[in-house]
Amino acid sequence: MIRPDIEASSLAGSTSLEHIPVLLVEAVTHLLGDAAANRAAPAVFVDATFGRGGHSRALLEKLAADDRLIGLDRDPEAVAAGHHLAATDSRFSIHQARFSQIEKILQDIGTTAVQGLLLDIGVSSPQLDLPTRGFSFSADGPLDMRMNPAEGLSAAEWLNAAAEEDIAKVLWIHGEERQSRRIARAIVAARPLHTTAELASIVAEVSPRPKGVQRKHPATKTFQAVRIFVNEEASELDHGLQQAFDALAVGGRLAVISFHSLEDRKVKHAFRHLSQPPKLPRRLPVRELEQTVPGRLVAGPIKPSLAELAANPRARSATLRVIEKVRAMEKVR
């Protein structure tokens, strides 16, 4: 997955639909863990954001013949790619679902606990590079932005109907856009909007132009915020993180790759809550308090190496964090 705010600065003009998985070696290595070769029973792993299957293929190369890998994605094009992989490897299966539906999918297929689960949050290169999907401001296309084009309101439908105050709120909360009110006012005045170029142009016209080299397009945060809102990505992440950890067997690991500070902050806080004993009240000795926590931080924050950045500039904003379940608990909250 990649961040949309680096498309103009690092890969403007790129037309390739190839998706290069970020932090591939690090994610697979930490997800499998040190005891991967010593597992006595077949293990189940989940790639809850399949995309185009880069991480899944790398995992399958390391898994045993009787292990299983379950892929999830809500994008129908990603699911189609998953069916191609499933046709070549019987250990893999793909399901069209949001990652907030992890619990339901596992129940449906009769799986009670998994050894490893990966979340690679954000928008994928094929989604960004196809103008028809409406995620990008570098190429004109319909203002859609939905991960699943058959589900919910498109970006255009929402922007053309929402109150100015609601648009400003979304831009501020999900994009940390300082010009949120000014941009919202301009969007309402220019309605109806139909294309990505129209939205990008409106934002650029009302955004201050800083002196010197501008690394980011002025519409970067607006596109990010609208995409997050339209796809309910914030609540998806909240529910997905909890369901993913709940799904782990003791000793299982959850690896999360995020691409901007809002996402990484959620992951960091969730992992801290799961891995640190409460500070108050201190009714128990520290050692006993530590024995009550369900998780152990394994790695993170891990950033891409210089070699990976040279090969794939879109990895620049990626951050990997990994947690291991060390104690079974009833629906940890």
Q: pLDDT tens digit string along 266-313?
A: 999 999 999 988 665 555 555 555 567 899 999 989 999 999 989 888
Q: Which residues contact 182 (CB under 8 A, 6 or more apart)?
A: 206, 207
Q: In whole angstroms, give the CA distance from residue 154 to residue 151.
A: 8
- Domains in the chain and their CATH numbers? 4-125+233-325 (3.40.50.150), 148-230 (1.10.150.170)
Q: Which of 7-21, 174-188, 205-219 has the highest mean pLDDT?
A: 174-188
Q: Where are the alpha helices (DSSP H) in the chain?
A: 7-10, 24-32, 54-62, 76-88, 102-108, 125-129, 155-161, 164-175, 180-190, 196-206, 220-230, 233-247, 261-275, 286-290, 306-311
Query: What is the pLDDT at residue 333?
Result: 45
- pLDDT per residue as tens digits for the range 72-123: 999 999 999 999 999 999 999 999 999 899 999 999 999 989 999 999 987 8
Residue 35 pLDDT? 54
Phi first, then psi: give them for residue 297, nearest 5 degrees: -65, 130
> Is 8 a residue whose pLDDT tops 50?
no
Average pLDDT, whole number, for the chain?
87
Q: What pTM value is reported for the model?
A: 0.85
Give Cα separations from 128 to 17, 28, 136, 255, 278 (angstroms). Answer: 9, 24, 6, 23, 42
Q: Supply 111's token pair.
A: 């799986």
Do 103 and 29 form a contact (C-beta atoms < 8 A)? no
The Cα 172–Cα 178 span in angstroms is 7
With contact defined as beta carbons under 8 Å apart, do 50 and 78 qualify?
yes
Q: Which amino acid is at 55?
A: H
| Residue 273 token pair | 């809550």
The Cα 209–Cα 71 span in angstroms is 43
Residue 34 has pLDDT above 60, yes or no: yes
pLDDT attached to residue 213? 56
In 3D, which of 203, 198, 155 has the Cα closest to residue 182? 203
Specify the DSSP class assigned to residue 6.
G
Contacts of 79 by beta carbon, 8 Å cutoff, 6+ apart: 50, 73, 94, 95, 96
Residue 97: closest CA among 152, 48, 57: 48
Name the nearest CA neighbour of 1 among 91, 100, 135, 131. 135
Report the DSSP beta bridge partners of residue 195.
142
Q: What is the pLDDT of residues 56-75, one digit of tens each?
A: 999 999 999 999 999 999 99
